[in-house]
């Protein structure tokens, strides 16, 4: 993966994460199911895409692999937080 393409992908994932996070907060505040589903899809795409790009960058020996791995960890933490908040809102536990 070229470094410039990696930076473009990383920037797009940052924007997708920002929109997904805002959708998750809005879904939890107003109990809007459509925003909740969009947030869940966005966070899953961010996590899967960053893990995939980190793997490709690591194989290419690029320093951007560290950034994608760190980003994947942050998205995973936010995803777990969002899922626990949804579980509490739905009364699953």
What is the rounded average pLDDT of the residues 1-19?
84
User: Using CA of residue 20, residue 41, residue 92, residue 32, what is the dihedral sign?
Assistant: positive
Helix H, strand E, coil C: the string for the chain is CCHHHHHHHHHHHHHHHHHHHHHHHHHHHHCCHHHHHHHHHHHHHHHHHHHHHHHHHHHHCCCHHHHHHHHHHHHHHHHHHHHHHHHHHHCCC
What global pTM score does this model have? 0.88
Q: Is the pLDDT of residue 2 over 90?
A: no
3-state secondary structure of 14: helix
The pLDDT tens digits for 69-85 are 999 999 999 999 999 99
Distance CA 93, CA 12 (A): 35
Q: DSSP label at 92?
A: -
Distance CA 34, CA 90 (A): 15
Range of the domain at 81: 3-90
Domain count, the chain: 1
């Amino acid at each position: 993966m070229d470094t410039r393409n990696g930076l473009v992908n990383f920037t797009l994932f940052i924007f997708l994460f920002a929109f997904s996070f805002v959708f998750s907060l809005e879904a939890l505040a107003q109990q809007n199911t459509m925003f909740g589903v969009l947030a869940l899809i966005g966070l899953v795409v961010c996590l899967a895409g960053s893990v995939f790009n980190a793997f490709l960058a690591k194989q290419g020996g690029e320093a951007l692999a560290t950034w994608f791995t760190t980003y994947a960890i942050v998205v995973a933490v936010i995803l777990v937080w969002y899922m626990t908040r949804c579980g509490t809102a739905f009364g699953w536990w």
